[in-house]
Amino acid sequence: MGRTLPLVALLFALGSWKPASAGQPARAHHAMVVSREVHATEAGLAVLRSGGNAVDAAVAVGFALAVTHPAAGNIGGGGFMLIRLADGRTTFLDFRERAPATASRDMYLGPDGALTRESVSGYRAVGVPGTVRGFEFASTHYGRKPWAELLAPAIELAAKGFPVSGDLADSLKNARPKLELFPDSRRIFLKQGAFYAPGERLVQPELAGTLGRISSAGAREFYEGETARRLAQAMAQHGGLITLADLRAYQVVERQPLTGRYRGYDLVTAPPPSSGGVGILEILGILESTGYAKSGPGSAASIHYTVEAMRRYFADRSEYLADPDFVRVPVAALLNKPYLAGLRKSIDPERATPSARLRPGAPPRVESSETTHYSIVDAEGNAVAVTYTINAGYGSGVTVPGLGFLLNNEMDDFAAKPGAPNLFGLVQGEANAIQPRKRPLSCMTPTMVLRGGRLYLVLGSPGGPRIISSVLEVIQNVLDFGMSLEDAVASPRFHHQWLPDTLYVEPGVSPRTAARLAARGHRVERIGSMGEVAAILIDGGSLQGAADPRSEGHAAGY
């Protein structure tokens, strides 16, 4: 794929931006795995080399990340898996966490009506985990390797340990305020306050035991066996809501992926309860035919147009997006071409629209509805994109006593108080209010792009609402700006989510561009890195894998 502008090389040359690492993209002819962590990537690659398909590898990577990337990798959370088989069939596995049966709309409001911290930290913040059942569903329906073989790398990593990277050492130390509140978290991840040094081995025998039981007895062990009983007991002892009945009742939902078309490319992406697929398609639908890309990547004009489209989508998100099993989500209406044309027309090419003047749109009634990501393509052409999470870094902070795994704080992804911002500053409406057994709205956006009916791009990212921006901007960089995959992933990012009315930009956005955006009326704020995209590009007989230089991610293939 040719480059129209070597943007990242230019930024490096000017010394204006240096990501955390700048590894070269991996190239291969048969198969590729891109994940957040080297041991997990290698586990997936080993499965592919031994005859497994992309789904088998995805399960192995997911369990390995539960050991080596405790900030987000998990068996105590949930997520989404987007699958495209070599014959063109697609499916979407929703193993998002659910609210416990006794959850209630106002459970996180204090006597004064203000939000408490209970949706963020501790046992009451936890939704019913879906990861283990999700991985088993994927393995049973779309994989071919024995279940125990897929868990073996993770069990070995937990039992024998692995060397702590510099990134993980820093992450664990920074998480001290959260982790030190819970005895098992303090003992396992903080060494009772002594902390892990880079290169020191992190051994997790309790997690190895839990994974071993799951390996032998399947997901039933997690939801009905010893693990379930000990988890429910800990919940009862510490004021949590999850019961054995909640665990037994958890089910994966298989959904139709959301599809759309942009400039001759076909997109396959996440449907609700993800808000990300709708977001990608709505934003691209607004931008199409604007000519926004003519001014080039990173220009004030192209950023302005994209931000204005983001602003309008996130306003709609606040009103309409939620769990489609509980709320009618007007997906077709939000992506209706006349509706998108109206949003496009409302953009002033020279001035920002203040968010205070922008309300959720009125789409026509058209009937149709801290996280980590990894991408895999196998030698047969099957592709998998997985984004899964325990929400904030290290979730609720709770490690289940004797079981060795961290629990999510996914209940904060509901509108704990409709109209009030959540952990990520997102303002959400009544559609996403807490209800028993409901899935909270998510920004996770595993996505694939097809060119001429053939698989072309597989990608996704962590990052809360910035997932949507990160995935969107890599797609724009490849499709609209003709960048190479490594430049598309490494290029500086920006984000706007309607409220707060702030345009967040990474350090690589130049001072001149930031000033021009401010002159257009944007309130510009510089932040650290956003997103960690894991992407694979398929061009003819060649595969390119790019791990985000903002992380210690790793791409490998053969």
Catalytic center residues? 371
Q: Dump the DSSP string for 489-552.
A: HHS--EE--SSS--EEE-TTS-HHHHHHHHHTT--EEE-S-----EEEEEETTEEEEEE-TTTT
> How many other CB atoms are there within 10 angstroms of residue 430's CB atom?
12
Whether 95 contacts 133, CB under 8 Å: yes
Give dist(CA 20, CA 24) in Å, integer. Answer: 13
Whether 62 contacts 371, CB under 8 Å: no
The type of residue at 42 is E
φ, ψ dihedrals at 274, nearest 5°: -75, 140
Give dist(CA 250, CA 77) in Å, integer. Answer: 12
Residues 6+ apart with CB under 8 A from 297: 5, 7, 476, 477, 481, 483, 491
Q: What angle do CA 94, 271, 214 make, to 5 degrees?
A: 10
Q: Tell me the three-class secondary structure of 64-103, residue by residue.
A: HHHHHCCCCCCCCCEEEEEEECCCCCEEEEEECCECCCCC
What is the per-residue burial (b if ≥16 Cβ within 10 Å, else e) of 69-86?
A: bbbbbbbbbbbbbbbbbe
**In this structure, what token pair is assigned to residue 183?**
């005895």
Give dist(CA 371, CA 379) in Å, integer. Answer: 27
Give dist(CA 400, CA 487) in Å, integer. Answer: 41
The type of residue at 282 is E
DSSP 136: H
**In this structure, what token pair is assigned to residue 530?**
């956003």
> How many other CB atoms are there within 10 angstroms of residue 100's CB atom?
25
Q: How far apart are the first and last CA of the chain?
A: 20
DSSP 443: -
Residue 188 Cα distances to 72, 182, 207, 279, 404, angstroms: 16, 10, 10, 38, 8
H or E segment and range at residue 384: strand 383-389
The answer, yes or no, to whether the previous bond of 338 is cis (omega within 30 of 0) is: no
Give dist(CA 396, CA 387) in Å, integer. Answer: 19
Count H helices and E strands in the chain, helices first.
Answer: 19, 19
Give dist(CA 381, CA 152) in Å, integer. Answer: 25
Give dist(CA 250, CA 223) in Å, integer. Answer: 8
